[in-house]
Chains A and B, each alone.
Chain A
Amino acid sequence: QVQLQESGPGLVKPSQTLSLTCTVSGDSISSGSYYWSWIRQPAEKGLEWIGRIYTSGSTNYNPSLKSRVTMSVDTSKNRFSLKLSSVTAADTAVYYCARGTVGDIWIPPTLWGLGTLVTVSS
């Protein structure tokens, strides 16, 4: 059974860089026609698409975050990562990693991690 697990600091200081990793277990990150995404959700609020990455390294970022976001993939370690720079309190949220499918029809993420709460505070 394929599973995703987010990991990283739960507390980040303002102006610093948030760094999260999503480890894929149960299958190779390179298998199948998938993309790997990050989505976040502030407390008691809705979902926000951060971006996605393919195992080729190709990325698509939310334009509102593009100047601060970097995603990468490490196929040797079966994981992908998110970096968000110059964080503020507005970046406090639960961060989810998720897997979606590309093919004849684009399918949004069906496999999600449990999510990890990142708080931005001094």
Chain B
Amino acid sequence: QSVLTQPPSVSGAPGQRVTISCTGGSSNIGAGYGVHWYQQLPGTAPNLLIYANSNRPSGVPDRFSGSKSGTSASLAITGLQAEDEADYYCLSYDSSLSVYVFGAGTKVTVL
């Protein structure tokens, strides 16, 4: 069980906005460590969507955005598209465990 908690699944219709939460604690997100987000399409390696809470690598559509507040972070996907159907993982550092930790992942389904 990860120290970063994500909902197992979220869904939305095409064009809608969905958000995925990543809840941590005082030794990770709440300690000020950055939160990063990956998208993993079936059978492929993860792809970085957001780093350091809210920064998008070049090539990532601006439909993806990240935010952080307190001990939680969120990934928002606006204008949901069929190609967004994938697993999404948050990542941060935990000072108690002394390791980078991933959330358990959230499956996004486009209805």
Q: A residues engaging B (CB < 8 A)?
A: 46-49, 62-64, 96, 98, 105-110, 112-115
A114–B45 Cα distance when bound, in Å, is: 6
Report yes or no: B52 in contact with A107, Cβ–Cβ below 8 A: yes
Report yes or no: A113 in contact with B102, Cβ–Cβ below 8 A: no
Indicate which residue in A49, A96, A109, A115 contacts B48 across the interface (CB closer than 8 Å): A109
Report yes or no: A47 in contact with B45, Cβ–Cβ below 8 A: no
- How many of chain B's residues have a CB under 8 angstroms from any CB in A? 23
Chain B residues with CB below 8 A from A113, complex form: 45
A115–B34 Cα distance when bound, in Å, is: 26
8 A-B contacts, Cβ less than 8 Å apart?
A: A46-B103, A46-B105, A49-B100, A105-B34, A105-B55, A108-B48, A109-B48, A113-B45
Nearest chain B CB to A64's CB is how many angstroms away?
7
